[in-house]
Amino acid sequence: MSRAIVVNDRVRVPDRALHVRAVRASGPGGQNVNKVATKVDLRVDLDAIEGLSEPALARLRALCRHRLDADGRLMISSQTERNQARNLADALDRVRALVTAALREPRSRKASRPSMSSRERRIDTKKRRGALKRERAREQD
């Protein structure tokens, strides 16, 4: 069964980049949790992703910097479902979402200046505040 993740027509995560391990899940579940390995630990070799540009790869590394292991592989765990296949599908979807987010280039910030009226309002507010403080100071003398 091929687990390759197709992100779009150019970018895909090949099966060789995915390392799947099933382990026992934690939490409630009674006997089922004690005998069935439903939790999925997925590791993704980021350098093996096909069609990802260098800037997109850098954005992906920045997005998942807290989820990288010592070898630089992305670690995803899923134990939300009671079924190993559904947990694997959930983990693969999360990898697809991360890669899709990394493909989007951030919008560049365009420098803007405050309008003349907003500057005048700001100065007027500052003057009122200063006058209020001056009034208080005179009352105490």
83: in domain: yes
In a domain, 137, yes or no: no
Domain that holds residue 67: 5-103
Domain contains 116: no
**CATH code, 79:** 3.30.160.20
The answer to whether position 136 is within a domain reads no
Task: Please indicate, yes or no, if residue 109 is contained in any of the structural domains.
Answer: no
Q: How many structural domains compose the chain?
A: 1
Residue 133 lies in a domain: no
pLDDT for res 32: 72
pLDDT for res 37:
84
HEC sequence for 66-133: HHECCCCEEEEEECCCCCHHHHHHHHHHHHHHHHHHHHCCCCCCCCCCCCHHHHHHHHHHHHHHHHHH
pLDDT at position 30, please? Answer: 72
Per-residue pLDDT of the chain (141 residues), as tens digits, is 568 888 888 888 888 988 988 888 887 767 777 778 888 999 999 988 988 899 999 999 999 999 898 888 999 999 888 888 999 999 999 999 999 999 999 899 999 999 999 999 999 999 999 999 998 987 665
